[in-house]
Amino acid sequence: MTLRPDDLEALVAAALAEDLGAGDVTTDATVSSDARGRARIVQKQPGVLFGLDAAAAAFRQAGAGDLDRVIAEGTWSDAVPRDVALVAGPARALLAAERVALNLLGHLSGVATLTARYVEAARAEGGRAVILDTRKTTPLLRTLEKAAVRAGGGRNHRMGLDDAILIKENHIALAGGVAAAVARAREARPDLPVEIECRDATELAAALAAGADRLLLDNMDPDGLRAAVAARDEAGSAAALEASGGVTLDTVAAISATGVDFISVGALTHSAPALDLSMLLEG
């Protein structure tokens, strides 16, 4: 799923309105209305750049003109500092767009960069698990953040509550058990894959018996995950196994090495530090 151009424009417009309020009083007081400038967007920290569409929309809407992209998005770069984009136009417009453009670009690049680190770490001990995001995203920025995850080499899990079934402990309790929950889900939406959360070996066995398409192994240690892989294989099940809960860069390699198929990491979107970028303005 990608953000439609009209939706991106609306999101950036709201961000600019939030930042500008009644106007940039500092710039209006110190910069002539006819002054022009040329701005360089500089990446100062190694990582994956992502979010130039959002930054471009900020400059364009502020009246600064089109963004000239110096590099392509989505690849890791250690060669910093480096110019990643240029934009020329009225100086007041450049300054008006600066913070919104850098906030979006830095945040999305941070998500892409953290994702790339997890993807690399997951292969460190011979594991082949795919790194997934979650729904722990910033409200109204989900589509952009999940696009950033893809740019970093990860894969999107659910975009929302409407595109896959994930049965968790509260659903199980209200449905009357694992088997009942899976059966009801199959009957209601036979077109959607069914994933079910498992917290221990007992729930794992019940989920395998119920024929779920994917099992979410919640907060299991590596020994528990290896046992789950063995149980799935011994049962002759084709269910995919997804490890989740408290995954860090220090633990993801060991988790991946257990043989699970997927590892979901909420931190990709809720805890990614922004990539360090700045705007340098020349008159």
Which domains does the chain carry?
A: 5-120+272-282 (3.90.1170.20), 124-270 (3.20.20.70)
How many other C-beta atoms are found inside a 10 Å radius of the C-beta of residue 43?
A: 25
Is 213 marked active-site? no
Residue of 38, 168, 186, 199 with catalytic role: 168
pTM equals: 0.95
| Residue 264 in this model has a pLDDT that exceeds 80 | yes
Is 146 marked active-site? no
| 279 φ/ψ angles, rounded to the nearest 5 degrees | -115, 125
Q: Tokens standing for 31?
A: 């910069």
pLDDT tens digits for range 31-78: 999 999 999 999 999 999 999 999 999 999 999 999 999 999 998 999
- What's the confidence (pLDDT) of residue 2? 66
Taking the CA atoms of 25, 95, 55 and 153 in sequence, report the sign of the dihedral they define. Answer: negative
Residue of 136, 155, 184, 226 with catalytic role: 136
Asked if residues 278 and 55 have their Cβ atoms less than 8 Å apart, the reply is no
User: Per-residue pLDDT averaged across 154-167, rounded?
Assistant: 94
Average pLDDT over the chain, rounded to an integer: 95
Residue of 53, 197, 203, 242 with catalytic role: 197
SS3 content of the chain, % helix, strand, coil (to 5): 45, 20, 35
User: Per-residue pLDDT averaged across 224-247, rounded?
Assistant: 96
Is 99 marked active-site? yes
Residue of 99, 135, 150, 158 with catalytic role: 99
Residue of 145, 218, 242, 261 with catalytic role: 218
User: Per-residue pLDDT averaged across 160-185, rounded?
Assistant: 93
